[in-house]
Chain A
Amino acid sequence: MGYALNFNLIWRHFDKLWGGLLLSLELAMISIAIGTVIGLVLAVWYVSAGRVVRAIIAAYVEFIRNVPLILLVYLVFYGLPTVIDLAYNAQTSFVATLSLYSGAYLVEVFRSGLEAVPRGQLDAGKAIGLTPWQRLIHVRLPTMLRITLPALSNTFISLFKDTSIASVISVPELTFGAQWINFNTFRIVEVYLVTTAMYLVTGYILLFGLRLIERRFRAAR
């Protein structure tokens, strides 16, 4: 028996998908913003720290990178509230998880970026009498950010896709909207075709936009 495509029900519930897409983008943006702060602070700390601090930061990075994201999401949402006295909703919980998750990946990105800053630039900064703090703010970080921009935008796009995991704790993002329509209308093929297209188009628009920004700020060679 053939399967006749019928998109009517998808358009009727399209607000679920559209609202979900916007929420996915929002989750990814907040998470990468917090993750960038975590990554920057830990990376700068790491390169100047002693053994113990380095080991702790490395443990955080390795732990997050080697555990499935879905488990981290469960752990923060279902596990943590049983041992600490904190109340948060699913969305906050997911943003916290994804921020910690992206932070761990970005520490590595920024750390290798800091190491890639040419030695001569730092010496030049020292030569014109900048303090270590001024060298960090005006020389190391701007150069490092230019170097790491491509990696940063790749991380953002993969975070955008990772937001689909939020559906497992019922955050109404795009994948959750798709499942809702799947279970309530049974227009299965249609809803996943539309959802796939939405992820693809958004992903490629982001990629294109970020590449333009990268070209504008590309590190001088």
Chain B
Amino acid sequence: MLGQILYAVPFLAQGFAITLWVSLLVVVLSLIAGVALGVGLVYGPAPLRWAVRIFSDTIRGIPILVLMFFVYYGLPAAGLHLQSFWAAVLALTLFKTAQVVEYVRGAVGSIPKGQSEAAMAIGLTFRQRLTSVIFPQAFRRFLPPWINGVTDAVKGSALVSLLGITDLMQAINQVIGRTYEAMPLYILGALIYFAVNYALSYASRRLERRFAFIRD
């Protein structure tokens, strides 16, 4: 049994690399899109605010799995042919973006209005107000929930296995298909996911403490 599992280690490692790659892509892409849309939600004109609100409430209201199948099977019908890998990344990114939008809204919304008004009074432009006044303060409110959410991205990435992408989850299922050692392999997989996510949530707790000295 142990021999068979050791034999599968390089294969599992490849799957693990895909898991990390998918998670990284989703985290980075959703951060960019989410911050842009989040700023749009707070400061944008009414039509943009409405569009972002509807986007976020819709995406967060449905299971990731449904969103993933929708994107994967639905995009070709709309004339867009993506590889399953990119369809999966797109779906997970859409989901994560909606979360990031809410973190941004919460963080930026928590900055007292007086800060904006003071910045306006000393003649800062909109961009200067954002980059020199609002963002530096909102950042510490944004960071803890966002890092917590990174573990969700790693866990969510396991769903890409359902689109036939050989991530860690799929690699485990395939090794079980060959060796019939279901329990040891699922436990091994759980421990790997646990190690990654526990390290991330440990880092998030550390960061939270690091920023805890700033009070208002």
Binding site for B on A (CB under 8 A): 1, 3, 62-63, 65-72, 74-75, 78-80, 82-83, 161-165, 167-168, 175, 178-179, 182, 188-189, 192, 195-196, 199-200, 203-204
Q: Roughly how many angstroms separate A165 CA and B62 CA in the complex, as a whole number?
A: 12
Residues of B within 8 A of A72 (CB): 190
A78 and B158 contact, Cβ closer than 8 Å, known pairs A67-B193, A161-B63, A200-B58: no
- Contact status B62-A78, CB under 8 Å: no
- Contact status B62-A161, CB under 8 Å: yes
Q: Which of B73, B156, B183 contacts A82 (CB 8 A)?
A: B183
Using a CB-CB cutoff of 8 Å, which residues 139-190 of chain B contact chain A?
A: 151, 154-159, 161-162, 169, 172-173, 176, 182-183, 186-187, 189-190
Interface of A, secondary structure class, is helix
Q: How far is the CB of A48 from chain B (nearest CB, A)?
A: 25
Residues of A within 8 A of B61 (CB): 161, 199-200, 203-204
- Contact status A182-B183, CB under 8 Å: no
A-B contact pairs, 13 of them (CB 8 A): A1-B79, A66-B201, A67-B190, A70-B158, A74-B173, A75-B183, A78-B182, A82-B183, A161-B61, A182-B73, A189-B74, A192-B70, A199-B66
Residues of B within 8 A of A66 (CB): 151, 155, 193-194, 197-198, 201
- Contact status B66-A195, CB under 8 Å: yes
Q: Roughly how many angstroms separate A75 CA and B184 CA in the complex, as a whole number?
A: 10
- Contact status B162-A71, CB under 8 Å: no
- Contact status A179-B69, CB under 8 Å: yes
Q: Roughly how many angstroms separate A62 CA and B172 CA in the complex, as a whole number?
A: 22
Looking across the interface, which residue of chain B has its beta carbon closest to that of A3?
B77
B78 an interface residue at 8 Å Cβ cutoff? yes
